[in-house]
Amino acid sequence: MSTRQTKECVMLAAGLSSRMGKWKLMMPWGDGTILDSALASALSFCDRVILVAGHRGNELALYYQDHPRIDVIQNPDYEAGMFSSVQCGVAAVTSARFFLALGDMPEVTPDVYRTLWSGGDRDVCLIPGHNRGKGHPILLPQRAKALIAHAPEGSTLKDVINQIETHVVSVEEQGIHWDVDTPAQYSQVAQWSGRACTMTSK
């Protein structure tokens, strides 16, 4: 398999979960956890997931240590904000194009990844859209790696994306909008998706 054909995904899983009040990534979802579900969808299409950990990162490293296609990368500066985790994860990317996904979005399906990958120009940023709203994951072109690595202090992911031509790719899945940050969102997304979940975590 050539480097250009390899499909890699950077998944962010470093946050403090402060709005949830507990570690949301390990909260139940289906037969596993929120993060398990997000990873399963990515791995159904991608060859490798670079999982960026921070808060309780050693636990994530142990939890996924036997998975051959998950590489857990520790971001020592995760409390500096999400973009520091983006930079940490993207530094480990070896493919040309790459996905950027969020670990707290358990209802993104493999079809979203598949649709983005076949969505057009390799040199643009592809963003999934549903009902006029944009979501995640996104598919970034090769040149985004240098823009992210050399972004000025205080930059955000939006600042980088604004430097790249973007196309919105229509998808059928509402899960591109459903992140789980609070107890209310957890219950709401579980209801929308038909999941029977309770507010416990590992």
Res 3: pLDDT: 43
| Token couple for 34 | 């929120």
Q: What is the pTM of this model?
A: 0.92
Can you list the domains of the chain with their CATH numbers?
8-191 (3.90.550.10)
User: pLDDT confidence of 193, banded at 50, 70, 90?
Assistant: confident
The per-residue pLDDT for range 59-94, each reduced to its tens digit, is 999 999 999 999 999 999 999 999 999 999 999 999
Whole-angstrom distance, CA of residue 82 vs CA of residue 199? 25
User: pLDDT confidence of 164, banded at 50, 70, 90?
Assistant: very high
The DSSP result for the chain, as a single string, is --TTT--EEEEEE----TTTTS-GGGSEETTEEHHHHHHHHHHTT-SEEEEEEBTBHHHHHHHTTT-TTEEEEE-TTGGG-HHHHHHHHHTT--SSSEEEEETT-TT--HHHHHHHHTSS-TTSEEEEEETTEE-S-EEE-TTHHHHHHTPPTT--HHHHHTTS-EEEEE-S-GGGG----SHHHHHHHHHHHT----S---
Q: Tokens 């499909």, residue? A: 7
Res 2: pLDDT: 42
